[in-house]
Structure formats: structure tokens, C-alpha cells
Chains A and B, each alone.
Chain A
Amino acid sequence: MERILNLCDIGFRLKDRMPARELICEMGGIDRVYIGSYFCEQYFLKTSLPVLEWCAAYCRSQGIRMACVVPIPSQRYLDSCKKHLELLKEQYPDLLDMVCVNDPGMLQWAAGRFEKTVLGRLFQKRIRDPRYAETSGNGAFSVSREMRERIGQYRIWGIEIEGIFGSVGKTDRDFCIYSHVGLCYMSCMRECLYASLYRELPARFRTDTECGVECSRYRMKNKIQGGHEIFRIGKGIYFQTGMGTSAPDGADGVILYPQERW
């Protein structure tokens, strides 16, 4: 069972709070570290390299590999995201052997440029809502027709699922299934709730404002019907699953998110 430490949308904050060695040891038995972002191009562009640098020496010394997670780029950031990914790979070829993409455009571009390509959590779009138990707990995961076609076409190494499944099918599978555990992604924003702080009003909540990674200073928690807690980290909206941190039966890896260290 592979253990992946997910520093997406959170690593830049943790970088200033503790040594990477301490965090990675604390999580225990980590085989791979994710850097980048699932939801925000500016976070990806501004933090991937510093977070990678923060982790690199310890990961190298322990034989821990790294992977870069790329968000879905808006048109204005498309070229920058591609260039940045190339830059990261060029600078750390020994560590970065995997890319995690989240949209079909980036999949077409990135597949083949890295040894391993993973279809990120944003490819899985079944409804999940903690207010409706039927949608968010303990069922069996099955790979959709769409996903099977993509896996065959692009020689996909693995796919990601949310930690709301009790089991995954294991039959005749030539790809890995990695399960996020702890927080389940439920929604996301394209505008940023935090980036526009201290700005004049018309400049708030615009997708084209320059940010200072303000999401590393603030986060929010909401309570919704049924007493469920919703976590807003960066542009991501998550809920805590009731499945703990163990992977579903049949999964090949678990993706751990150190949100309690935020």
C-alpha cells in the first residue's frame, strides 16, 4: 500500500512552520509527496518550486519520490502552467517522475512527458454531499466507461478517488487506484475568497487579480445542515468523511492530507 503525502494547497503554509523532515516523519511511512494545487493556478505557479525545494533534500535522502499536481488552468494561465511544469521537471528530474492532471486538455499535453501520469480527483464527478448519506459513504467504487477509455488511450498509471468508498473492484486492473482520505473534495471556486483582501471593492473576487498567496494565512470552516462541517482551504471546499484514514478495500494507495497541521 503506497502512502502519499498531499501538500497541495497547504504546503506553502507548512513550509514556514516546520522542517519537511518533521512533517514527513510524523505522517509515517511516506512513499511519495504531492506538490502543486488541485484548484488554483496562482498557487501552483507561486508555491510549487519553494515547496519542492523545501522537501527535496529529505525526500532524496529517503528515496521518497515526488509528483506534481496541476490544476485546471484558465486560458490566461494555460501557457504559464505548462512552462512551469517543464521547469520543475527540468530542475528535479530525479525526484519528479509523476504528474497528476485534472482535465483532458492537460492530460493530452502532459501524458508522455512524465514516467507516470495520474488522473486527479477532479476527474471523478459523482455527486457527494454529506447532507445526503446515500451520496457520501461506504459504497463500492467502479471505474466508469469514460475513465476506462482514458486509461487505455493515455497509458495512465493511476487514478484518484475520494475516501467515501468502502471498496474498489480489483479485477483485471492494470492501473493503480489511490484514495484521498480524511477530507473529501466537494466543490471549488474559481475566484478566490482570500486573494482580494485589502483591495478596493471592484477588485475583489476577480479571477484576474494578482494574489499574494493569502490562502496561506486564512482558512474557513462552515457548518451546514445536519451539523456537517465544511472546510474551505484555498479554493477547495471539503467535508470530513466518516471513513478515517484507511484506504478502501482493493485500493493501491492512500493520499494523506495534513490539514490538522494547517
Chain B
Amino acid sequence: MTGMKILVPLKGEQEIESLQKAGADELYFGFTDEKWQQCFGEYSDINRMSAFKDVANRIPVSRLNDVVARIHSGGMAAYVTLNAPAYTDEELEKLDEYLCMMEKEKPDGVIVSEPSVVRLAAAHHIRPVASTMCGIFNSDIGKYYAGMGVGRMILPREMSLDEIRVMREELPDVELEVFLMRNGCIFADSHCLGMHGREYGSLCKALRTGPFAIAGEIEDFRARHEMEWNIMLFHEQYRKNACGLCALYRLVNMGITAGKIVGRADNPAQVAEDVALVRENLAVAADSSDEEEYLNRMKWPRERYHLCKNGMCCYYPEVRFPLDKAERGRDGYAV
């Protein structure tokens, strides 16, 4: 069984050591630059979490190379995010400057959101990693990016284990990353174009907590009950948090390169706890003779009481809550 690396978000450089101690193999982070905002306006992003400002990004561009060096000196890999949904030509020129700067202390990769940034990174001999913003939902899209020289891809969080297995087979030379812990988004990362701003929060939160109205065929009690029950579940329970620990044995055995813990805006101490938990479970997986043994011996997440209910917060619900054949789509794979 090959090892799976643990990829972890870094909010500020003071957390490098604690994440290393917890067992992180790779850290990814975004940075801020006042000049970017001066040039392109308050609502232009360097990375997907820029609008959260220092809640998610506490590393200024002036510290970029030093932070990469510190991560490397701790024996970990460093990845820098340049993954805003889209960039204008002028913004791409500025990214080019950042990549020039990065050449001095090269990160192990830049996490990018679109082909033009792939090309830019490659021109600076820095390895491009396809972000979830690229929306690699199938092997054709994966092959498109692989053809551009992308050797590592983060798969969308909505992907099932069977789909991941097929992607693994179809893209044998590409390193694949998958989601493993924390923050389950209800919308598709790659095509959610609302602001993640501090003033109003994210769109999904606004939709989950704000007033709504249903239209349609809801005349009888049962129909209305079903619809409202669905909305209640969706707004109050579905992906309030997320965990994929139960799938770890299968993911490791598929040859997945890295499991991603998200949460650049989260409490760093809790992120470190999750890192330690994944590290423990990787050891259990390595020591288990089959998936059943792993599932019996694995360490559950701290928030188990809330997380482990009916697959609502599972990244890969098919492990503990498999669907029967009748409920799966006509193109559904056998579980």
C-alpha cells in the first residue's frame, strides 16, 4: 500500500510548526497584496479566498518566498494558490510578476484555476496543479489539462469513489488529490461565482439562512411536507461540515496521491486536530488487511455526533450508506 500525503491549508506562517507536528505533508496557502487591490479594485481576487481577507489569507506577498522556505525547511511541500475563478489580461500580467518572484524559492506547485495560468506557471518552470476551480469532473477534462502539462489535479468534492477509480485508471500518470476533511460546500466549487466576502458572507450561507418560497405542484400535504423536509435537511444538515475518513482505505488503495483538508478560514487548532486524525487513520489503513478491518478499527472524527448521520456530511457516503441498485442512476456504477 502506498502512502497518501496529507495536504493542509495554511492561514498564517505561525501555524507551520503546529501543522508539521500534527502530521501534515504538504501545505497550501494564498497571499495578499495591497497593490493588487489598488490596481484591480476591491472585488478582484488573487485566489478564491481573497475576499475573506485576513480570515483566510494572512501572508503578505512580501513574505511569500520566506514562507515557502520555512515550509521546505520543515520537510513539507509548499503549494501557492492562484485560483480565482477568472483573470483579466492585466491580472495575468500581475500573476506573471508573482511567478517571477516565486522562482527564487520555488514552491512545489501553484494551484491554478484556468489554462492561461497553467501556461504562465509552466513558463516559469513552476509545476501547475489544477484546482477544483478547473472543474475536472471527467477524464476528458482531465486529459485536456494533462495535455497542457498539468501533472496533479484536485478532483471535485462531489465525485464518487467509483468515479475517482475510473479517473485513476484513465489518467495513470497524473497525481490525484481528493477532498478528505472539513467544510462541505453545497455548490460546485468550479462554477460558484458569488462573492466570498466578509460583508455578506458566502452565497450558500445566505441561501441556507434567508427566507425562501417554493413554487410548483405543492397542493397536497404530502408533497409540501416532502419538499419542506428536503429543504430543511438541505439547509440545516447537508454538508454543514464534511468528512471522508471512512473512504480512506479505498482511496489509499486506489493510489490517490493526496487527501486534502480544507478550511483556510477555520480555527488552525481544529485543522491541526484533523491532520492528526487523518495521520492516525492512514496508519490504521496501512495496517488493515481489508476495508472491513479498517472500518472497524478507524478513529472517528471529533464531531462524530453531528457528522456521521445518514451520509449528510460524508464526502463519500457510499462507504457507510450504499444505495441499492434501484436508487442509482441508469449510468450508476456498481458500488
Contact = CB atoms under 8 A, between A and B. Distances in A.
Given A125-B191, A186-B193, A134 B162 contact: no
B85 A126 contact: yes
B311 A222 contact: no
Contact of A210 (B139, B197, B327): B327
Given A72-B135, A193-B234, A188 B116 contact: no
B323 A206 contact: yes
B145, B192, B203, B328 interface centre (most CB from chain A within 10 Å): B203
A103 interface: yes
Contacts of A187: 187-188, 191-194, 203-204
Contact of B212 (A191, A222, A226): A222
Given A104-B141, A187-B188, A187-B194, 11 more contacts: A76-B163, A78-B138, A105-B138, A108-B140, A125-B85, A128-B193, A145-B92, A209-B329, A217-B216, A217-B217, A224-B200
Contact of A75 (B138, B197, B233): B138
Contacts of A201: 233, 310-312
Contacts of A222: 206-207, 210-213
B86 interface: yes
Contacts of B310: 201-202
A205 B310 CA distance: 11
Interface stretch (B224-232, B240-248, B293-301): B224-232
Q: What bracket does the count of chain B residues touching chain A fall in?
A: 35 or more
A259 to B, nearest CB: 11
A204 interface: yes
Contacts of A72: 135, 137-138, 141, 191
Contact of A73 (B138, B187, B206, B234): B138
A73 B159 CA distance: 11
Nearest to B192: A187
B330 interface: yes
Q: Closest 10 A-B residue pairs measured CB to CB?
A: A105-B140, A202-B321, A105-B141, A218-B216, A190-B158, A75-B163, A125-B85, A224-B206, A125-B86, A187-B192
A97 interface: no
B220 interface: no
12 contacts: A75-B163, A104-B145, A125-B113, A129-B195, A134-B41, A190-B137, A194-B227, A202-B321, A218-B217, A218-B227, A219-B215, A222-B212
By CB atoms of chain A within 10 A, which of B141, B317, B331 has the most? Answer: B331
A98 to B, nearest CB: 20
B88 interface: yes
B215 A208 contact: no
B130 to A, nearest CB: 11
A230 interface: yes
Interface string A98-112: 000001111011000
A237 B317 contact: no
Nearest to B170: A75
Interface string B82-120: 001111110010000000000000000000011110000
A245 interface: no
A103 B139 CA distance: 12
Interface in B290-318: 310-312, 317-318
A138 interface: no
Contact of A188 (B140, B166, B187, B311): B187
A191 B281 CA distance: 28
A220 B230 contact: no
B186 A105 contact: no
B41 A220 contact: no
A220 B194 contact: no
Interface string A220-231: 111111100010
B218 interface: yes
A205 B327 CA distance: 12
Contacts of B183: none
B163 A144 contact: no
A62 interface: no
Nearest to A223: B211
B212 A223 contact: yes
A210 B188 CA distance: 20
Instruction: Please indicate which of the listed interface residues A126, A129, A135, A230 has the most CB atoms of chain B within 10 Å of its own CB.
Output: A129
B296 to A, nearest CB: 20
Given A127-B85, A218-B218, A189 B187 contact: yes
A209 B191 contact: no
B121 interface: no
Contact of A145 (B42, B116, B142): B116
A124 B86 contact: yes
Interface string B59-100: 000000000000000000000000011111100100000000
B162 A76 contact: yes
Contact of A134 (B43, B188, B211): B43
Given A75-B167, A103-B141, A132 B197 contact: yes
